[in-house]
Amino acid sequence: MKNSRIIAILAAAFAIGTLGCKGSGSGKNHETDQVTGDTLVDHRGTGEKHLMNVHQLTHGGNNAEAYFSFDNTQLVFQSDYEKWGVKCDQIFTFNISEAEKDTLEPKMLSTSFGRTTCSYFLPDGKHIVYASTHLADSACPPVPEYVPGGKYLWPVYAGYDIFTADLDGNIISRLTSEEGYDAEATVSPKGDKIVFTSTRSGDLELYTMNLDGSDVKQITNQLGYDGGAFFSPDGSKLVFRSSRPKTAEEIKEYKDLLAQGLVAPTNMEIYTCNIDGSDLKQITNLGKANWAPFYHPDGKRIIFSSNHASERGFGFNLFMINEDGTGLEQITTESEFNAFPMFSYDGKKLVFSSNRNNGGTRHTNIFIADWVD
């Protein structure tokens, strides 16, 4: 579950409100930012040398996991913005060209019932895939109570199943019907496979299936949470985040929490493997939370979000690393939260979520930028 709740969960766990969608930004832009409306024109002077023409696309609420359509003209994302009439995360879409005019009126594609997460365009640009709890309960499911001084916990809702819908919000098909959690679906750039996370084996593992839900195959099989997977540009590999408990104490805690439908998502590293699960490799060994990975268009580098460089646990920025674990480079420097990066299919744009430019609120918004290698 890569949803916007992970922001609030990890953020609060680290004394802020963001690891997915609740940033507690300072409300101050770097002194070299040139602001025109909501367009941050040139960030090369701030240390964000790979980002040009950074533009804010949403303007309130917790907005996360914005992903491009295959033709790069649309974004689909999730939001809990009350002004759009929702009480917890629902799925929305908009045309990028309209959003860049600051006239965003996103269209809700989910049912408005239950909680949703992890939406992604199908190749035809006319349908999406996403996870929802609406069949289990029409109400928003409860979130774990925060215990001061305790670990922040992330719910793994057993009511999540994966659906396809058209751009009028009509559900076309239900792709999963197994007991337990099924979510975090993304689509191969080849347009032939979906990867997702499921508890059907008793653990949080990766699976692939065809676009119609057939030919389900288990990909990972080691104890620990494997999730947030994306395909490489050629569709031959997967990159994902994982928490792999090692000690007896860690293993017991992980199993006990999972039995309650919970995970503690504060210790994760980035892994890759072939789409059949072979050649599994741990890419990062940075400590803390390393997550939301996505392949660079060259298929040799991976961009991801991490708080490993933060002294007090909060402070999530985007980093880039080679597939062999070398060449770590920091990509963002602005604000306390940057995550959910995705490159456009032509490699020219980067979309991500950030709590920059939020006027001191706890809002996390979607930003788009020209990518400069």
C-alpha distances in angstroms, 313 versus 214, 288, 330, 337? 41, 8, 17, 12
pLDDT of the chain along its 373 residues, tens only? 444 544 544 444 433 333 332 322 222 232 223 333 344 444 445 689 999 999 999 999 999 999 999 999 999 999 999 999 999 999 999 999 888 666 567 999 999 999 999 999 999 999 999 999 999 999 999 988 776 667 778 899 999 999 999 999 999 999 999 999 999 999 999 999 999 999 999 999 999 999 999 999 999 999 999 999 999 999 999 999 999 999 999 999 999 999 999 998 889 999 999 999 999 999 999 999 999 999 999 999 999 999 999 877 678 999 999 999 999 999 999 888 999 999 999 999 999 999 999 988 889 999 999 999 9
Q: How far is the C-alpha of 231 from the C-alpha of 166, rounded, in Å?
A: 23
Contact (CB, 8 A) for 266 and 288: yes
Token couple for 295: 């392949």
Token couple for 324: 């062999």
What is the per-residue pLDDT for 199?
A: 98
Q: How far is the C-alpha of 336 from the C-alpha of 352, rounded, in Å?
A: 14
Buried b / exposed e along 226-240 (16+ C-beta atoms within 10 A) = bbbbbbbbeeebbbb
For 350, the 3-state DSSP assignment is: strand
Q: What is the CATH code for 5-371? A: 2.120.10.30
Structural domain boundaries in the chain: 5-371
Q: What is the pTM of this model?
A: 0.89
Contact (CB, 8 A) for 25 and 358: yes
Query: Based on the number of CB atoms within 10 Å of its own CB, is 103 exposed (0-12), middle (13-18) or buried (19 or more)?
Result: exposed
Q: How far is the C-alpha of 271 from the C-alpha of 285, rounded, in Å?
A: 10
Contact (CB, 8 A) for 357 and 336: no
